[in-house]
Structure formats: structure tokens, C-alpha cells
Amino acid sequence: MAALLGRFCRKLSFPSSSHGARRVSTTACESETGKPLNLYSAINQALHIALDTDPRSYVFGEDVGFGGVFRCTTGLSERFGKNRVFNTPLCEQGIVGFGIGLAAMGNRAIVEIQFADYIYPAFDQIVNEAAKFRYRSGNQFNCGGLTIRAPYGAVGHGGHYHSQSPEAFFCHVPGIKVVIPRSPREAKGLLLSCIRDPNPVVFFEPKWLYRQAVEQVPEHDYMIPLSEAEVIREGNDITLVGWGAQLTIMEQACLDAEKEGISCELIDLKTLLPWDKETVEASVKKTGRLLISHEAPVTGGFGAEISATILERCFLKLEAPVSRVCGLDTPFPLVFEPFYMPTKNKILDAIKSTVNY
Amino acid sequence: MALSRLTSRSNTITRPFSAVFSRLISTDTTPITIETSLPFTAHLCDPPSRSVESSSQELLNFFRTMALMRRMEIAADSLYKAKLIRGFCHLYDGQEAVAIGMEAAITKKDAIITAYRDHCIFLGRGGSLHEVFSELMGRQDGCSRGKGGSMHFYKKESSFYGGHGIVGAQVPLGVGIAFAQKYSKEEAVTFAMYGDGAANQGQLFEALNMAALWDLPAILVCENNHYGMGTAEWRAAKSPSYYKRGDYVPGLKVDGMDAFAVKQACKFAKEHALEKGPIILEMDTYRYHGHSMSDPGSTYRTRDEISGVRQERDPIERIKKLVLAHDLATEKELKDMEKEIRKEVDDAIAKAKDCPMPEPSELFTNVYVKGYGTETFGADRKEVKAVFP
């Protein structure tokens, strides 16, 4: 329950500069200027900049014209016109296929899928068309300008179809990139990188943080590099890896663990495909223990891939088995959500049992 | 036939007969013929006649059940605002005529499958108020044992297949059910319902093609309330004549705010489907609430439009005028009936509030078939937390 309450008073204040193996090498972290913005406003700013800087970029999806159900697209249609920012009918497969075609002609197609739970009709288009276009045409064609944005993750009352975390399905597809931001400042930089990346990208936005997370976001155009993980908290006893909204929960667990004398290193993966193996490897070689946490069900979740890879690379350095604290292997439940979620206490328990192995 | 069906249905919806209703219903059951408000528009078929056979009993029953549905939805609105209903809640008020007209034309062997705006259809299929409110509040006594919520009401005994959250996904399912019905020679049909937003889903056309190819007794019902969440139909569809979208499949456009037009159309459709194959019905209807409780419903349409429809086309008002015109009840009696309904709904809510939440172990039940014995792990994979029963 406390974890649940904790989620409702989330105001992120991650340190501006990162320590550890990989340093975020943009001006974003150097400057502290900027206004406090929440996640949907940061994403909105990123979209404004993207459309402003590239006249051949388009934003479309269900209900984006008036601003979208989460207000991420407010003001775009008024500023850039209905030819560049437009609503589509209710047909995800058609929307993504259409976006792939648009991107194949050299445009930047920024597609919004209203909830990640609805992305499955488009799964065929993403996996079979978008991911393989460049490959099967021998580099004659590509749909690198395609960026698919979708809100994902639990929100407290979403139930079966407004809370899913489908990132694992997409991480299994070579040819696309999967990116998940943890906070407003990260989201703006990462989204701009995704839009400008010459590969198709699926960008999942943690919907719980749309209003809950507020952070100083610089107003200028900046990009955060993809496939670079960030160590957001240094420690010596155990490495924790996560992404998106789950990081706030993990940070709370780290603070609690510190009170018990366990020093935790927390890494934000940011890009899940292709993921930054080197940073995680370096960290685990230092601490000797790894814990991965995500909201998606544990079996077949992306934590399994991280666990297997780290095991290959750091076997002799590991002091304990890799621990995964994830959602349960059930459909995302309705009233049982607090039991299903990987809460702070579950993570804390796992930290302690791993450290005391 | 109509009478016994009506009384048995009213037994399940209304618990003990309300005083006013039982007195009125014991009056004579003379047949009444009612003219629909608008003619039917047909595509590739001959429209049915505008004169609908009914009876005084049916007329009163229509009024009572629609008033109950309306009251139930408004009560659900208050419960949601009081945070007793969580998650999502899509209300049907304004569209009651479709549910009630359809029920009057079919039997419980005919299947209905719909999307997430399913509270009233569930009630029409014989669900009780207690089951409705328990499920909405996530309690054990709910029709889906508290695990489904507002969008997932089901009733197997009445061939009500739910209750689906993903837009358009229920239509191919409906066509599959129709195939099963044809195969087992049940002389039953399936009504696969969807909205104007879902009408643009590809899977709908895939399902329609299959139904037409194999002459399945599937009736696709488009409940056109003119807004797909916040998008008006003319912004989403090149051709908003949803009844014509079937191309080679016949269609009928019906005034969805007129319960008798709906009844006539469904009766016609059932005969057609059993004989010739699929048919599309477009119900021209309207919802007063927004898409769901998170939607105020006034950012994409004017309040004048909503109140205009409420004044001109409200389905319950229509039936009320017919009841008064045919001298079946006085204004006061109808008002008393509404008061009784209000009390009934309040009682059901109170009873549902007392019902307990499902046991935590229910989190793991019914993921697979019972007895499959799959293990599931808790937070830490070292410990087996539960074995799926």
C-alpha cells in the first residue's frame, strides 16, 4: 500500500549530471535552465521542435488533432496545419502501414498509437514490414523516418487494456529500436533522437508519469543519444537495471536499502533494443550482483534477455543469481493491480536476499 | 409467445414485482400496432413495413426496462465519481432503445456480442442489477466474479458473449459464433454489435467477407452514435452510410432511438439471416454521456446538440408518450414507477457495496484451465509463490 501511495506523490528530481561508465554527452545536462514541465508537456515540446525543424515531418494517429487523449499533441495542428497534423480513423494496422509508406518516401512519420495495448493489430506491420524493409530491399528502401509513440504501463486503474507493457514483444525484432524514457527531460531528448534516428523506432511513454512527473526541462533543441544506458545512482553492492516509470519505484527501494547498509547502483537502460550491454556489464563486474525490474510479466520479459547476456559476460564475477522482480504471469488484473505490480517492498526483499545469498 | 417471454424476463430483471407495474401489467394484453417514426432505408433488400405489432404489456415493459437502464447508468455515473467504480466506465444512456428493441425480437438462444458499452445489453439479456453493480465495483458477486469490470460483462446462459475492450475485435468472434450456430442447426442467429468508430477496423471487413462467403446467420449491428470517442463520424469515415458498407451484403438503416423500429428491424434481420446470410443493421442513435467517464462529452459537440437530441428524440420519452396516448397508465403512475425503479437501483447498490472483494488467490485462477498446474513465481524467482489451479 505504501508503495501505491508513493506512486501518487512522484516528483522526480534525478541529478543533472550522471556518474559512471557512460556520461550523457549533450548539453542537456550541462544547462539547468528550463521550465518545470511534466511528461506530456515535454513530449509536446519535442514534437513542436521536430515539426519545426523538419518540414517533411508529420504527426498522426487517433484524436491527435485536438491534442490527444493525453495532451501530448496540443497546439500542433493549430501551428503546423491540418495537412501535417491529422486524425486517422480507428485502424491501427492501417495507421502504421500508412506511416511505413510515408516514411519510405523520405518523410518523418510520427505515429501515435493511443494506448500500447492497442498496438497489436499493427504488430504485423511493425515486425514484417517496418523492421525488414531495409534488409529485404538491399538498402534501396527504408522506413527510417518512422517513429511510433504509444503510452504504456500501469496507471493505477487501467485494467486489462490500458496498462500493458508490451516492450518485450518488440525487443525480439531486429530492425527496429525500442526506447523508453524515465522522466520529462529524458523524454524530450530521447524523442527527438528517435525521430531523427535513421531507423524505425517504437517509443513507449510511461503514462503514469504524464502528469505525475515534473522536472526542469531545457527549452532548446537537444538530443539524448540512443543505445546509451545511464547510471543514475552509484553504488557498490548490487546493480539494479530498469526503465520507464519503474525506476522511481526502484529508487525508493534503493533509498530504503541504503538505510540497511546496502549500497545500490541504479541504471536506466533507456534504449531496450539495441541495449547498452557494456555499461551494465561494467557495473555488474564492479558489484557482482544484478537485479532487474519491470512491470511486464516475468516470464519472457526483457529482464530475461538482460539476465542471460550478463550471465554470459560476467559469470565468474557474479556473487548471486540474477534476480528479476517483475509483474506476475497473469493478464494485467483489474482489482488485483497492487498484488500484481513489482512494488518497492518486493524489490527491497529481492535486494536483501540477493545481497545475503 | 411474447407474453411468457416478457414475464419471465421481467422476473429476472425486477425482483419482486413492483406494485405499480404489476397492477398495470395485469390489465388486458390487447395487441397494439405502432408506426415507426421514420421509414427504413434499405440497401440490397426490401425494407420491412413501418407498422410494428406490439401489445400493451410490451409497451409498458419497454418503458419500465428502459427507465431501469437509464437509472442504472446514472447511478453508475455517481458511483464512478465517488471512486467506488474504478477503471473505465462507458455509459449507454440515450441508446437504451437499441438494447430493448433487440431483446423484444429475439430469444435467449440468439447470441449477442458487443463492445465495452455493455451494461444495458447485459441487463436486457437477463442480468440482475446486483450482478451489474457488483461487477462494476469489482466484487465477488459480479457476473465475471469481479475480475472483468465494466467492459467485460458476460452471461453464458443467455448467450451473451460480452463485453470486449479492444475496438472491433468482437466482430470476427461474432461471426465465429454464427458459424457454430449454423453448424449445430439451432435456428439461432448472432448479433455482433460495434460502433461507428469500430466500423473502420479492417477485421470487420474480414469477418463480413467470411460471413457472406459461408452464408452465416450473422447480423452486424452498427450502433452509430456519431462519435468515435471524440471524433465525429464525418471525420473518420469517407462513407458514413454504415449500412451500405457491406457492399454485397444487404443493409438496413434504422432509427435507433425508436425501440419499435429496432424491434422490427431485428425481427426482419433474424429472418433474413436464417434464410439468406449476413445483413448489416445501422442503428442511428446517440449517447448523452461522453465516451467514458473520463470524457466530459462536450469538447467535441455542443451542449445544444445534446439537449436537442434529448428533447426531440429521447427513447424513453417516446415510449412514455405512446403509453399515455394509448391510455395504458397515467402520468402519476409512470412517475411512481420511476420512483420504484430508483429505489430498486439504490437497494441493489447498497447490497453490492456490502459484497466482499474477490480473494487474493483469485488473481491466479482461470489463467489456464483448472488442473493445468502451471507454476507462477512471485517477485523473487527463487520462491514458488503459487501454482495455477
Under the banding of pLDDT at 50, 70 and 90, the label for residue B224 is very high
* Interior angle at CA A50, CA A46 and CA A51, nearest 5: 120
**Contact (CB, 8 A) for A217 and A188:** yes
Chain-centre distance for alpha carbon A127 = 19
Residue type, B355: C
- Measured between CA atoms, the residue of chain B closest to residue A86 is B235
- Does residue A129 or residue B367 have the better pLDDT? A129
Grouping H, G, I as helix, E, B as strand and the rest as coil, residue B171 is helix
CB contact under 8 A, B381 and A298: yes
**pLDDT for residue A104:** 93
Q: Which residues contact B8 (CB under 8 A, 6 or more apart)?
A: none
Residue whose C-alpha is closest to residue A221's, from A269, A188, A197: A188
Q: Which long-range contacts (CB under 8 A, 24 or more apart) does B13-19 make?
A: B13/B65, B13/B68, B13/B123, B13/B126, B13/B127, B13/B128, B13/B129, B14/B64, B14/B68, B14/B344, B15/B128, B15/B344, B18/B337, B18/B340, B18/B341, B18/B344, B19/B340
pLDDT at A73 over 50: yes
Separation of alpha carbons B70 and B123, rounded Å:
11
Q: Does any CB of chain B come closer than 8 Å to the CB of residue A60? A: no
| Distance of alpha carbon A2 from the chain centroid | 25
Mean per-residue pLDDT for A86-104?
A: 93
Give the mean model confidence (pLDDT) for residues B59-76. 96
Which residues of chain B neighbour A117 with C-beta distances below 8 Å?
Answer: 165-166
> Binning pLDDT at 50, 70 and 90, where does residue B299 land?
confident
Q: Which residue of B has its CA nearest to A343?
A: B379
The minimum CA-CA distance between B345 and chain A, rounded to whole Å, is 23
Confidence of residue B371 (pLDDT cuts 50, 70, 90): low
Peptide bond into A144 cis (omega under 30): no
Q: Do residues B74 and B287 make contact, with C-beta atoms less than 8 angstroms apart?
A: no
Kindly give, in sequence order, each residue whose CB lies less than 8 Å from that of residue B295, ignoring residues fewer than 6 positions away: B229, B230, B289
| Sequence-distant (≥ 6) Cβ neighbours of residue A172 within 8 angstroms | none
- Asked if B235 and A334 come within 8 Å (Cβ–Cβ), the reply is no
**What burial letters (b/e) apply to B126-157, b meaning 16+ CB within 10 Å?**
bbbbbbbbbbbbbbebbbbbbbbbbbbbbbee
pLDDT in tens, A274-304: 999 999 999 999 999 999 999 999 999 999 9
Count of pairs with CB atoms under 8 A, one residue in A, one in B: 112
Q: Is the pLDDT of residue A90 over 50?
A: yes
Q: What are the backbone dihedrals phi and psi of residue A262, each rounded to the nearest 5 degrees, phi first?
A: -105, 125
**A178: β partners:** A202, A273
Cell numbers linked to B151: 467492459
Average pLDDT over residues B88-111: 96
Q: Find chain A residues with C-beta within 8 A of B299's C-beta.
A: 66
Considering only the beta carbons, identify the residue of B165, B358, B379 that sits closest to A335.
B358
Q: Which residues of B touch A (CB under 8 A)?
A: 86-88, 138, 146-149, 151-152, 165-168, 197-198, 200-203, 228-231, 235-237, 299-300, 357-358, 360, 362-364, 367, 374, 376-382, 385
In this prediction, residue B359 carries a pLDDT of: 87
What's the mean pLDDT in B3-17? 44
Longest dimension (CA), chain B: 74
Is residue B365 predicted with pLDDT exceeding 90?
A: no
Q: Kindly list the distances between the CA atom of residue B61 and the CA atoms of B24, B65, B67, B174, B284, in Å, as whole numbers in the listed order.
A: 10, 6, 10, 28, 22
Write out the catalytic residue numbers of A. Answer: 92, 162
Distance from C-alpha of B101 to C-alpha of B330, rounded to nearest angstrom: 23
Indicate the residue of B168, B200, B363 with minimum beta-carbon distance to A330: B363
What pLDDT is recorded for position B283?
Answer: 96
Q: For A324, which of B88, B197, B381 is closest by C-beta distance?
A: B381
Give the pLDDT band of residue B362 (cuts 50, 70, 90): confident
pLDDT tens by residue, A244-271: 999 999 999 999 999 999 999 999 999 9
Are B382 and A321 an interchain contact pair (Cβ–Cβ within 8 Å)? yes
For the packed helices B331-354 and B315-325, what is the interaxial angle rounded to 10 degrees? Answer: 140
pLDDT at residue A11, rounded to an integer = 41
C-alpha span between A260 and B53 (Å, rounded): 78
Q: Which of A298, A324, A340 sits opposite B363 (nearest CB)?
A: A340
Q: List, in sequence order, every beta strand (DSSP E) within B226-371.
A: 227-228, 231-232, 251-255, 279-284
**In Å, how far is A125's CA from the nearest CA of chain B?**
13
Residue of A nearest to B300 (CA): A66
> Using a CB-CB distance cutoff of 8 angstroms, which residues of chain B are in contact with residue A346?
378-380
Give the per-residue pLDDT at B25: 60
Residue B238 neighbours by CB under 8 Å, 6+ apart: none
**CB-CB neighbors (< 8 A) of A87 in chain B:** 231, 235-236
Shortest distance between the Cα of A231 and any Cα of chain B, in A, equals 23
Taking only the tens place, the pLDDT of each residue in B331-343 is 999 999 999 999 9
Mean pLDDT of A176-183: 96
Spatial distance between the Cα atoms of A267 and A232, rounded to a whole number of angstroms: 6
Give me the pLDDT at residue A31, please.
52
Contact list, B146 vs chain A (CB under 8 Å): 334-335
How far, in Å, CA of B241 to CA of B282, rounded? 8
* Grid coordinates belonging to A182: 524515465
Among A162, A210, A336, the strongest candidate for a mutation testing the B interface, having the largest count of B CBs within 10 A, is: A336
With pLDDT > 70 as the criterion, what percentage of chain B qualifies? 88
Report whether pLDDT(A79) > 60: yes
C-alpha A111/C-alpha B285 separation (Å) is 31
Q: How confident is the model at residue A24 (pLDDT cuts 50, 70, 90)?
A: very low
Higher pLDDT, A61 or A30: A61
Pairing of strands B227-228, B218-224: unpaired
- Sorted by sequence, the CB contacts under 8 Å of residue B247 that are 6+ apart come out as none
Averaged over B323-334, what is the pLDDT?
93
Contact between A331 and B381 using a beta-carbon 8 Å cutoff: no
More confident residue, A332 or B6: A332
A236 at B interface, C-beta within 8 A: no
Which carries the bigger pLDDT value, residue A14 or residue A312?
A: A312
Q: Do A329 and B377 touch (CB under 8 A)?
A: yes
Assess whether pLDDT exceeds 90 at residue A61: yes
ipTM confidence: 0.74
C-alpha cell at A70: 493525453
Return the pLDDT at A12. 40
Over pLDDT 90: what percentage of chain A? Answer: 85
Q: What is the pLDDT of residues A62-71, one digit of tens each?
A: 999 889 999 9
Q: B272: pLDDT confidence band, cut at 50, 70 and 90?
A: very high
| Model pTM score | 0.83
Q: Decide if A357 touches B, using CB distance below 8 A.
A: no
Q: What is the mean pLDDT of residues A99-124?
A: 95
**Exposure of A156 by Cβ count < 10 A (0-12 exposed, 13-18 middle, 19+ buried)?**
middle
Residue of B137, B147, B380 best to disrupt the A interface, most CBs of A under 10 A: B380
- pLDDT at residue B364 in the model: 77
Give A-chain residues touching B143 at CB under 8 angstroms. Answer: none
Average pLDDT score over chain A: 90
* C-beta separation of B387 from B375 below 8 A: yes
Place of cell 468515435: B228
Q: Which residues of A touch B197 (CB under 8 A)?
A: 89-90
Structure confidence at residue B382 (pLDDT): 55
**Is residue B12 scored above 80 in pLDDT?**
no
Tell whether A91 is within 8 A of chain B (Cβ): yes
Which residues in chain A touch residue B382, judged by CB atoms under 8 angstroms apart?
321, 353
Contact status of A333 with chain B (Cβ, < 8 Å): yes
